[in-house]
Structure 1
């Protein structure tokens, strides 16, 4: 009889500890590959703020023909469970960056470098693997870019992300 109680306690302990581990995964870090104004790659970090909200911080580099850009951005997101391992999310945010054009290339801004800030939205879907702490996501980010010259720009940044959850 004691063995049965011991097995029952052990079973409940395993169930509750695995549930507690799932709920304690508050962060994720990885890479996001995007395509607005050329190929871009970002280091992406997510911090869970509550059951339905999180903050995503990204630091990245983009290359478009003869122009390179660095950008740091933050996005506040709401997320909802769609199915067991599938969530969808939406949010808004902004960021700052700088760009630099090759010396032998004349661009439409009339200069070879500058700074910019961006206001963006975000909508996407993600899959959270159950057995391993990995997350895959696809998202769309409409972005409006303001720069230190008279030309401002709107674009859609399509991205694919892979993150490690911890």
Structure 2
């Protein structure tokens, strides 16, 4: 048990020393996800400070009245010059026959191209609390965003 705690503390300490990434002020694009989500989402990211940002995603299902809004606070770290990883927490509201709320986390990787385009792959576990959302679901997504 002591070895596990020592290893976790070491990983945490190393993650604090990783160089922060330059984050664009705004990014907008599309996130295509799987799992119990709506599939496609319009995605917006807003720079908050040196290595933090806010992401808001709006997904519309095949039914006109079904939607899903997710908000995530993210921390971003640089792996190499244009390659980053990020993690975050948040939640959202979904309408799938009933209005429901859920908590969400996210972990992923992104690549900043030389053009103002960023592509990412992430994993988003979601825990539904009410309405038609119940229990834990997994959502894996690929996103492409324009940075400005």
Give the alignment's TM-score, normalised by structure 2.
Answer: 0.78
Secondary structure in 2 matching 1:124: strand
Aligned length: 127
Give unmatched runs, 5+ long, in structure 2. Answer: 1-21
The equivalent residue for 1:124 is 108
- Does residue 44 of structure 2 align to residue 61 of structure 1? no
Post-superposition shift, 1:92? Answer: 0.2
Match of 1:43 in 2: 42
| Aligned-residue offset at 1:97 | 1.4
Alignment of 1:2-151 (within 5 A): 25-37=24-36, 40-62=39-61, 69-99=66-96, 113-130=97-114, 132-148=115-131
Work out the CA distance in 2 between the residues paired with 1:96 and 1:24.
27
Q: Do the aligned residues in 2 keep the contact of 1:37 with 1:62 (CA within 8 Å)? A: no
Deviations 1:89-130 (A, max 9, x none): 00000001111xxxxxxxxxxxxx211111000000000002
Give the 4+ runs in structure 1 shifted more than 3 A.
none
CA gap 1:85/1:120 in 2 versus in 1, 3 angstroms: same
TM-score, with structure 1 as normaliser: 0.70
Q: Which runs of 5+ in 1 are unaligned?
A: 1-22, 100-112
Q: For residue 145 of structure 1, report the CA deviation from its aligned partner.
A: 1.2
